[in-house]
Chain A
Amino acid sequence: MLARNHGRAWGLGPLCLAWGLAVLLGLAAAARAADILSPEERAALAELKQIRLVYDWKYPPFEFLGEDGRFSGLAADFIKEIEDSLGVSIRAEAEHDWPALLESLKERRADMAPAMAYTAQRAQYLLFTDPYVLLPTVVFTQKNFKSIDGLADLHGLRVGVVNGYVSHAFLKSNYPDSFTIVPVNNIQEGLRQTAFGDLDAFVENVGVASYYIEQEGLRNLRVAATTEHETALSMAVRSDRPLLFSAIQKALANIPQERRRALLDKWVHPQERQIRTLTGLLYAAIGLLSVTVVLLGVLLYRARALRRAYQTKARELAAELDRSLAFQQALRASEEKYRAIFDHAPIGIFRCTYGDGLQEVNAALARMHGFASPEAMLGGLEHLPLSSYLRPQGSRDIRSALAVSSQGLRLEALLGRRDGQAFPAIINASLQYDAAGEPACINGVVEDVAERRQAEEALRESEARYRSVIENIQDMYYRTDREGRLVMLSPSTPRQLGYDSAEELLGRSAADFWMETDKRHALLERIAVEGRVLDYEVTLKDKTGGPVLVSTTSAYYRDGEGRVLGVEGIFRDITGRKRLEMQLADQLAFQQALLDTIPYAVFYKGTDCRFLGFNKAYEDWFGVRRQDLVGKTVLELDYLPAEDRAAYHAEDEAVIAGAEAVHKEMPIPLADGAVHQTLYSVTGFHLSGGASGGLIGVIVDITEHKKMQELMIQTEKMMSVGGLAAGMAHELNNPLGIILQSVQNMERRLSPTLPGNLEAARRLGLEIDSIAAYVRARNIDEYLRGIQEAGDRAARIIRTMLDFSRSSQSLRASCNINALLDMAVDLAANDYDLKKRYDFKGIRIERDYDTTLPPVECMETEIVQVLLNIIKNAAQAMMDRGQRPDTPTLRLVTLHDSDAARIEIRDNGPGMDEATRRRVFEPFFTTKPQGEGTGLGLSVGFFIIAQKHKGRISVASRPGQGTTFAIEIPLG
């Protein structure tokens, strides 16, 4: 039954000690207001235009500033009575604290105060009426504070009292050394500090304090003891207004007794009903009342004189009983209020009896343990898997812990859920004592900290991860404070800078490690502007002062409010990267040099068909510059015909898309104005990752090669002719010998001059002269000469043909080319055949010799043969001049042409068409009338120059433009 009562009234403390409240109900016989004042007093009141009153704005229920802004409370009502009685008006002004109130009285700014206790000090400037209310001064402590009998039990503790109140003076004079007196500014402060444990006790008169305890909801306070002190409140009037004082004194005394009680009822008792801690007081009062009544009855017989007084007391106590019913009602309302809090609090709340175990839990605690409701939990404790703090045996530890920690207990525990799972929780528990000061209950709150633990764990893991990153990072992590001093470093930092430990670096200025301090300033400025700087290259100093090339990424770091605390970031050693970059640059330089050395045009394009680059040969051939062309496609190359560009572009795209590489011979016009025969190749290439990278093109100029190829074919032809001649020579030379020698004998033996002929003719009876005449007459001599010439020609052809097969054994000698040319001209001028057809003297010879031409190693007679052949051909060609007015001119030029001596023989004859030009070196090709040329002259010349001297011979000619032969003989 008792337990149940406690359960229902869980928020209530044990009974507080009884305390007394006495009201001075009457002080003097009633006097009629009309005649209470003397004429002097009346005159004095009349003289005063206004009576000014000051009151403490916060001393309820006696005097305070009401919610309506008016002077309120018991004292206010008494003043009202006085005003009525005296027929005066008193103006009340609130003062915000007690010392200020005293001050305004002392300085005579105010005339009176309505509720003040007498002290000798105040009596120096104030006059005090008889007290009209008496308030016992009591000691307030926390409910669970130890049991005390009075102020003497507070030895060594901290005891609060309102600064300047009478109770303050009382403590100072009566208990100067017993405990620490802590002055507070007002009653609320004192009560609050006591409730929160800052003060061990607070001393104040019961009326005002009780009022505030209710207002502030300081339900853990109780009245722990009474004191021998009580506050007797009087009205105080400034001492220089004795007539006002005497008037007030008279008017106060004149207030009838009933009126006084009514006022007291109005102000003092209703407050008490609000204070739950006063419950005990009421029970005690009722108990006391019963005893008193019995006592009164006994005493009634023995001391009738006291009867009236006791009857009065009895009536008062009966009235108290009535009030207690109303009080209980208020109590229930209050309890419901706190019950709601209990039920809906988000943290678990429990209450155990000290000995038996769990009495009450709230919904939150039930949920925490996996029960649907507090009832389910109370009925199912046996389902909890762990020895629970909630069971009698489980709470034993808590009990013993609480026994030695009077301030309450905080402990962390692993609690069990109904389903067997455990959860971490924090339990705050405290003991509640009964009226006898014995522990009665354990009250506590339980907080499920699983989530908090998880968050803490996550934070720890995050921190560990972060730490691990810092510990293991290869880059140098650093952090500086606002002054630029190093405050945090990864272990890699000292390692990479050649220090033994981070301690050598921490605390030093980061600038100490920078080679270029201006770069550090620049970095900090950029951070200030951009907040974060990426990949900034700087040089740090290692321990020996040597350079460490790094790239840093740095930024501000800030506190929670965004204030900059310093700079942090990483340094990455890029010495290796730099080395690679340089190697790459070297490789690229080599690659370009390699490309530029290649005598063929090389170009390369990206997958977008745009030029990535090309080599020097390409630039030279096409007359373009790299910087003008890189980034363009072939479509933009205006030096190519439009249709060619489209074709090239289509081809580029196909090759990049993976088509077969292109290899083809094609004519391309180059910057020198000539169309060159080229071998044009385009191949796609792939990047290291396998993706298409674009294409590479190579253009090989095969014009010369083509010419050489033609010459080779030519030479081959001649060699075969030579081989053929060698094979045939013997077979042809014998019959030619027969023909020529026979013809010679025939001519001789027909001649009259040969001595043997006369003898032979005479023997036969013939006249030699007749025979000769006959031969002439019959043209026999012409036939014979014809046979001889034909034989000669045939013999010459065979000899020339044999030249092709002959690897010359002729000696080489240093020759002056200019001299050889002159020699050839002289020979031509005296040539028998030529003379027959043309007067060489009619040809103008222009010489343009390079006199610095070095001597050339060559076979003199053969070179002269070649030159002579060309000159003769030119002279013959210039015969056919038609009506041309200009002088036939042979222009002879020698040049020192890099590594060759160059000879040019130019005529202004009729020239030749391309078909002829292409065949001039061909054996047996001739444009001369039958019988005039062998068709071998230029062939032999070609053979001598190209084959025997490893030189070159070529001819340029156009119809009507003359012909130029060019010969190059290598020097050295």
Chain B
Amino acid sequence: MTSERIRVLIIDDEALLGLAAQDYLEDEGRFEAFVAEDAESGLDLLRRQAVDVCLVDLRLPGSSGIEFMLQAQALYPALRFLIHTGSPEEQLPKATIQDIPGFRGVLYKPVADMAAIVRALDNALR
């Protein structure tokens, strides 16, 4: 266990999903998790709070997860992103995603074992 915890921003309009992930990660002890329910709130949070990696749902009210990542990346080039989506693989705008330097992978809902999220976050920061 390191002295500094990994700061994770979870953006999901399903509040309970955000909460579940936040709780799991904080139960793990190595993570400090923040939750936003839309892209705009997420960006606000990023201005106030330094974050290492974002777990982003794509379908969001207002700006989409993609738009969030593009803007966030622009503001914080070191920021890493994982996509957490309920859409099938083929619906992903792959070309756009590949243009985001901090993009590190996709997690498809439902994630039955959130250990997969932990592994993905660890991998994203490696």
Chain A residues at the B interface, C-beta cutoff of 8 Å: 725-726, 729-734, 736-742, 744-745, 748-749, 754-756, 788, 791-792, 795, 802, 805-807
Q: Decide if A738 touches B16 in the complex (CB within 8 Å).
A: yes
Assign chain B's interface to a size class: 20 to 34
- 17 additional A-B pairs beyond A729-B87, A730-B85, A745-B20, beta carbons within 8 Å, are A730-B59, A731-B86, A733-B109, A733-B110, A734-B86, A736-B110, A737-B17, A737-B111, A738-B17, A740-B111, A741-B20, A744-B24, A749-B27, A756-B27, A791-B110, A791-B112, A802-B88
Q: Decide if A733 touches B59 in the complex (CB within 8 Å).
A: no
Q: Give the CA-CA distance A792 to B111 in the complex, in Å.
A: 9
Q: Which A residues touch B88, using CB under 8 A?
A: 725-726, 729, 802, 805-806
Known contacts being A734-B17, A749-B27, is A726 close to B111, with CB within 8 Å?
no
Q: Give the CA-CA distance A725 to B87 in the complex, in Å.
A: 10
Q: Give the CA-CA distance A807 to B21 in the complex, in Å.
A: 32
- Whether a CB of chain A sits under 8 angstroms from the CB of B78 is no
Known contacts being A729-B87, A730-B87, is A737 close to B109, with CB within 8 Å?
yes
Q: Which A residues touch B123, using CB under 8 A?
A: none
Report B24-48 residues with CB < 8 Å from chain A CB.
Answer: 24, 26-27, 29
**How near does chain A come to B93, taking the closest CB pair, in angstroms?**
14
23 contacts between A and B (CB under 8 A): A729-B88, A730-B85, A730-B86, A733-B85, A733-B108, A734-B109, A736-B109, A737-B20, A738-B16, A738-B20, A740-B110, A741-B21, A741-B110, A742-B16, A744-B112, A745-B20, A745-B24, A748-B27, A795-B112, A802-B88, A806-B89, A806-B90, A807-B90
**How near does chain A come to B85, taking the closest CB pair, in angstroms?**
8
**How near does chain B come to A689, taking the closest CB pair, in angstroms?**
66
Q: Which A residues touch B110, using CB under 8 A?
A: 733, 736-741, 791, 795
Q: Give the CA-CA distance A731 to B87 in the complex, in Å.
A: 9
Closest 8 CB pairs of A and B: A733-B86, A741-B20, A736-B110, A737-B110, A733-B109, A737-B109, A730-B86, A740-B112
**How near does chain A come to B97, taking the closest CB pair, in angstroms?**
15
Q: Decide if A788 touches B109 in the complex (CB within 8 Å).
A: no
Q: Give the CA-CA distance A441 to B37 in the complex, in Å.
A: 165
Q: Which A residues touch B87, using CB under 8 A?
A: 729-730, 733
Closest to A748 in B: B27
Closest to B86 in A: A733
Known contacts being A729-B87, A730-B87, A795-B110, is A748 close to B24, with CB within 8 Å?
yes
Q: Which A residues touch B29, using CB under 8 A?
A: 755-756
Q: Which B residues touch A792, using CB under 8 A?
A: 112
- Whether a CB of chain A sits under 8 angstroms from the CB of B99 is no
Q: Give the CA-CA distance A742 to B113 in the complex, in Å.
A: 10
- Whether a CB of chain A sits under 8 angstroms from the CB of B91 is yes
- Whether a CB of chain A sits under 8 angstroms from the CB of B67 is no
- Whether a CB of chain A sits under 8 angstroms from the CB of B14 is yes
Q: Decide if A741 touches B86 in the complex (CB within 8 Å).
A: no
- Whether a CB of chain A sits under 8 angstroms from the CB of B23 is yes
Q: Which A residues touch B112, using CB under 8 A?
A: 740, 744, 788, 791-792, 795
**How near does chain A come to B107, taking the closest CB pair, in angstroms?**
10
Q: Which A residues touch B125, using CB under 8 A?
A: none
Q: Decide if A741 touches B17 in the complex (CB within 8 Å).
A: yes
Q: Which A residues touch B16, using CB under 8 A?
A: 738, 742
Contact check: which of A732, A734, A755, A795 meets B14 at CB < 8 Å? A734
Report B86-126 residues with CB < 8 Å from chain A CB.
Answer: 86-91, 108-114
Q: Give the CA-CA distance A938 to B26 in the complex, in Å.
A: 43
Q: Decide if B108 touches A741 in the complex (CB within 8 Å).
A: no
Q: Which A residues touch B109, using CB under 8 A?
A: 733-734, 736-737
Q: Which A residues touch B89, using CB under 8 A?
A: 806
Q: Give the CA-CA distance A730 to B87 in the complex, in Å.
A: 5
Q: Decide if B14 touches A745 in the complex (CB within 8 Å).
A: no
**How near does chain B come to A732, taking the closest CB pair, in angstroms?**
8
For A736, A744, A756, the residue with the greatest tally of chain B CB atoms inside 10 Å of its CB is A744
**How near does chain B come to A942, taking the closest CB pair, in angstroms?**
21
Q: Which B residues touch A736, using CB under 8 A?
A: 109-110
Q: Which B residues touch A739, using CB under 8 A?
A: 110
Q: Which B residues touch A725, using CB under 8 A?
A: 88
Q: Give the CA-CA distance A732 to B108 in the complex, in Å.
A: 12
For B17, B20, B59, B87, the residue with the greatest tally of chain A CB atoms inside 10 Å of its CB is B20
Q: Which A residues touch B24, using CB under 8 A?
A: 741, 744-745, 748
**How near does chain A come to B4, taking the closest CB pair, in angstroms?**
19
Q: Give the CA-CA distance A792 to B16 in the complex, in Å.
A: 18
Q: Give the CA-CA distance A788 to B111 in the complex, in Å.
A: 11
**How near does chain B come to A885, taking the closest CB pair, in angstroms?**
44
Closest to B87 in A: A730
Q: Decide if B113 touches A744 in the complex (CB within 8 Å).
A: yes
Contact check: which of A733, A741, A806 meets B114 at CB < 8 Å? A741
Q: Give the CA-CA distance A802 to B85 in the complex, in Å.
A: 14
Q: Decide if A745 touches B23 in the complex (CB within 8 Å).
A: yes
Q: Decide if B20 touches A742 in the complex (CB within 8 Å).
A: yes
Q: Decide if A754 touches B27 in the complex (CB within 8 Å).
A: yes
Q: Which B residues touch A741, using CB under 8 A?
A: 17, 20-21, 24, 110-111, 114
Q: Give the CA-CA distance A725 to B113 in the complex, in Å.
A: 23
Q: Give the CA-CA distance A929 to B84 in the complex, in Å.
A: 34
Q: Which B residues touch A737, using CB under 8 A?
A: 14, 17, 20, 86, 109-111
Q: Give the CA-CA distance A754 to B27 in the complex, in Å.
A: 8
**How near does chain A come to B98, taking the closest CB pair, in angstroms?**
15
Q: Which A residues touch B114, using CB under 8 A?
A: 741, 744-745
Report B47-105 residues with CB < 8 Å from chain A CB.
Answer: 59, 85-91
**How near does chain B come to A883, taking the closest CB pair, in angstroms?**
42
Q: Give the CA-CA distance A745 to B17 in the complex, in Å.
A: 11
Closest to B13 in A: A734
**How near does chain A come to B90, taking the closest CB pair, in angstroms?**
6
Q: Which B residues touch A795, using CB under 8 A?
A: 110, 112
Q: Which B residues touch A754, using CB under 8 A?
A: 27
Q: Which B residues touch A742, using CB under 8 A?
A: 16, 20
Q: Which A residues touch B20, using CB under 8 A?
A: 737-738, 741-742, 744-745
Q: Which A residues touch B113, using CB under 8 A?
A: 744
For A741, A745, A802, the residue with the greatest tally of chain B CB atoms inside 10 Å of its CB is A741
For B14, B109, B114, the residue with the greatest tally of chain A CB atoms inside 10 Å of its CB is B109
**How near does chain B come to A868, taking the closest CB pair, in angstroms?**
22
For B17, B24, B110, B111, the residue with the greatest tally of chain A CB atoms inside 10 Å of its CB is B110
Q: Give the CA-CA distance A738 to B84 in the complex, in Å.
A: 13
Closest to B14 in A: A734
**How near does chain B come to A269, taking the closest CB pair, in angstroms?**
162
Report B1-29 residues with CB < 8 Å from chain A CB.
Answer: 14, 16-17, 20-21, 23-24, 26-27, 29
Q: Which B residues touch A740, using CB under 8 A?
A: 110-112
Q: Give the CA-CA distance A890 to B17 in the complex, in Å.
A: 47
Q: Give the CA-CA distance A351 to B21 in the complex, in Å.
A: 163
